[in-house]
Chain A
Amino acid sequence: MTGSSYSSALTLAAGAVLVCAVATLWLASIRSVISVMAAQGLALGLVAVVLGVHLHDVGLLAAAAVVVIVKGVVIPVLLGRASGASSDARESRPLVNVPASLVASSALIALAFVTGRGVARFVGTTAGALVPIGIATLLIGFFVLVARRRPTFQIVGLLMVDNGIALTAFLCTAGFPFLIELGVSFDVLLGVVVLMVLSQRLRIEFGDVDLDELQELHD
């Protein structure tokens, strides 16, 4: 791959991760949000593929395959199945409405570019310059986590935080050694499964509630 096509492919793939993050903010239907998360997983895998081809790193390509399988296919399918059985298919009353969420996300992106600049300069590569995109994805994930009240949306928020960090890791260090990457992916997958089982049990016990109605425990 030539230098310029490498850099534009990488920018495109990393940018797609961020676009997916923003898209989850204005979609209210859980089905479309899950498809967007699948797309984000695939875009993340693409980042790893582009980097792996550029650096001739087989381990990175293997990591890309794991990311695509786990985050692009397995987790979205599982999430889709779990939400198909439930009636919380829409986020009815988010704590922050859509226009305000979009304004907040642009503020978060600006914040990410300010804070990520130092790291980007330190890494000093084409990939490193894109680190703020990873941080922006992470921040938007946090935002989803606090602004949405349905269990499934919180799982999406956590997943997005994780994708943001994974993107940052790929861009900074071309990923971890493969075995650790494998362990991390496995943990993420297991975590999502556990969260889904737990949200099902919450539904059985409490009915369809928003999470901020859980107030059994307090001091």
Chain B
Amino acid sequence: MVLVTIFILPLLGGAAIAAVPGRRSTAWVAVATNGAALVLGILTAARVVRHGPLSGAWGALRADALSVFMVIVIGAISLMASWVGIRTMAREQAEEQGNPARSSRYGMLVQAFVAFMLLAVLAANVGVLWVAVEATTIVTVFLVGHRRTRGSLEAAWKYIVICSVGIALAFLGTVFVYLAALHAGGHSAQALDWTSLMAHAHRFNPSLMRLAFGLLVLGYGTKVGLAPMHSWLPDAHSQAPAPVSALMSGVLLTVAFYAILRFKAVTDVTLGPGFARTLLVVVALLSLALAASLLITQRDYKRMLAYHSIEHMGLIALGAAAGIRLAIAAVLLHILGHGLAKSVLFLTSGEIMAAEGTSQIDGVRALLARRPALGGVFGVGLVALLGLPPFSLFTSELVMVRAEFQVGLGWAAVLAMVAMVVIFIAVVGHARHMLLGPPESPGVAVPPPRWVATPLVGGLAVCGFIGVFAWPLSGLLEAAARVVAS
């Protein structure tokens, strides 16, 4: 019952927006429902860690520690994004390019997006997971194209065509997994449940599973934004409204990665860890190399953040390749930390873009002096994202590297660190450009209102808090890692 409620809550928020369009108060209802989903997720997590997995909706939904961890990630980021989204929409209406119908449609699509993402991680069945991920692809198209400029329409077209191909390949992979399961004596109705797959995977046909997992990595990897299937990502992230970029970066990419993580567990049972590891190491290193090379010459700060997401997805893939429990726990912590920091940065970049009127790095100067609040949040966010202490990304990156050395992937970890150093230098260079320096004209900038600053500062505070005190999460992380790592 509680699982159904978690899934329904964001939809109720969307229904509220649909029922009374164009009112700011109904948008707050949506924020409240997303917050409630987060709280329910945390409560469920506490229960799952203590008493084991929960089922709901006649077995269609299932929450183990990994699922509820993802629910918390989705809940936290959607809370921030819908909160700041109120400001984005209010601004759009003031600039007369928006009308109430458009902003309420935006709100409904965001809520549908959140609901489908929650369904994807709570689904007991890999088929339902696929349907939910595909549904979010479709819902996001109009969010990417929301501004209806040439750039945003082009980004939306690329996004749906590339991701549809990707998700189709993931479907073919799912078909082959189902075939393997049926031949191993699975019952057609339950053969696609995660629990049944894990239980029978040792009897699956190995060469079929190799083919299936390859397709699944290619397919869901497209949505994760792993190279070489990443080409939609920078365009979509830079053209979408800021809250949508935050949701895509923090939620969409990681939920697709969650699918890979689950299928990797099944594949590992059939084939041993070697096959999945090789595949993930290759895409991870490719992604890191690509992100590093394109970040050096980046001129647009939203695209900079987008390529930074590709880097972090590469790091996560490398951590997953290591595959031991320690590595998976770090991967999950990294998913949460990256989601929080990157969402704050995207949301702040939306504010900066509105204030400065450009998304070019060259067009923004001396932000810390002129707009201390925005510049400060942006700067601290970058510090978090670059993996400096005290933020949780520092901890998770350190642990991932340690785990990679433990399983003999030290060489890959060293290559990754080289890429990270290059990225560090490139991003610090861009950030110095934007943040530091004397202001050209002494003007008084209006800081963002306190209700907008609250979720941004809050997100960074949480990211710092879990970096220093891991204890509230350690039980959950351990239990979640145990789900997919032996």
**Roughly how many angstroms separate A168 CA and B235 CA in the complex, as a whole number?**
33
A191 touches B165 (CB 8 A): no
Which size class do A's interface residues fall under? 35 or more
Segment at the A interface, from B75-83, B142-150, B278-286 = B142-150
- Could you tell me which residues of chain B, from 301 to 317, have a CB within 8 Å of some CB in chain A? 303
B153 touches A119 (CB 8 A): no
Q: Is B141 an interface residue (CB 8 A)?
A: yes
Q: Is B216 an interface residue (CB 8 A)?
A: no
Q: Is B110 an interface residue (CB 8 A)?
A: no
- Selected contact of A180 from candidates B128, B145, B164, B303, CB within 8 Å: B128
Provide the A145-156 mask, 1 if CB < 8 A to any CB of B, else 0.
100000100100
B165 touches A198 (CB 8 A): no
**Roughly how many angstroms separate A157 CA and B188 CA in the complex, as a whole number?**
31
A184 touches B131 (CB 8 A): yes
A172 touches B150 (CB 8 A): no
Least CB separation from A123: chain B residue: B179
Q: Is A162 an interface residue (CB 8 A)?
A: yes
Contacts A180-B192, A191-B160, A202-B157 given; does A216 touch B165 at CB 8 Å: no
A158 touches B175 (CB 8 A): no
B127 touches A180 (CB 8 A): yes
List, in ascending order, chain A residues with CB within 8 A of B258's CB: none
- Selected contact of B165 from candidates A161, A168, A184, A199, CB within 8 Å: A161
- Selected contact of A201 from candidates B135, B137, B148, B211, CB within 8 Å: B148
Distance in Å: Cβ of A28 to nearest Cβ of chain B: 21
Q: Is A26 an interface residue (CB 8 A)?
A: no
Binding site secondary structure of chain A: helix
Least CB separation from A190: chain B residue: B138
**Roughly how many angstroms separate A205 CA and B176 CA in the complex, as a whole number?**
41
Q: Is A214 an interface residue (CB 8 A)?
A: yes
Q: Is A6 an interface residue (CB 8 A)?
A: no
Provide the B274-299 mask, 1 if CB < 8 A to any CB of A, else 0.
00000000000000000000100110
**Roughly how many angstroms separate A77 CA and B134 CA in the complex, as a whole number?**
23
- Selected contact of A184 from candidates B151, B171, B189, B234, CB within 8 Å: B171
Distance in Å: Cβ of B255 to nearest Cβ of chain A: 16
A187 touches B127 (CB 8 A): no
**Roughly how many angstroms separate A183 CA and B176 CA in the complex, as a whole number?**
18
Q: Is A107 an interface residue (CB 8 A)?
A: no
A176 touches B127 (CB 8 A): yes
List, in ascending order, chain A residues with CB within 8 A of B161's CB: 145, 154, 158, 195
List, in ascending order, chain B residues with CB within 8 A of A51's CB: none
A-B contact pairs, 16 of them (CB 8 A): A158-B164, A158-B165, A165-B168, A172-B178, A180-B128, A183-B128, A184-B131, A190-B135, A191-B160, A199-B157, A202-B154, A205-B153, A206-B150, A217-B154, A219-B234, A219-B294
19 further A-B contacts with Cβ under 8 Å, apart from A118-B211, A122-B208, A165-B171, are A119-B179, A122-B183, A151-B157, A161-B165, A169-B172, A169-B178, A172-B175, A172-B178, A173-B179, A191-B134, A191-B138, A198-B153, A198-B160, A201-B148, A206-B153, A217-B151, A217-B154, A217-B234, A219-B234
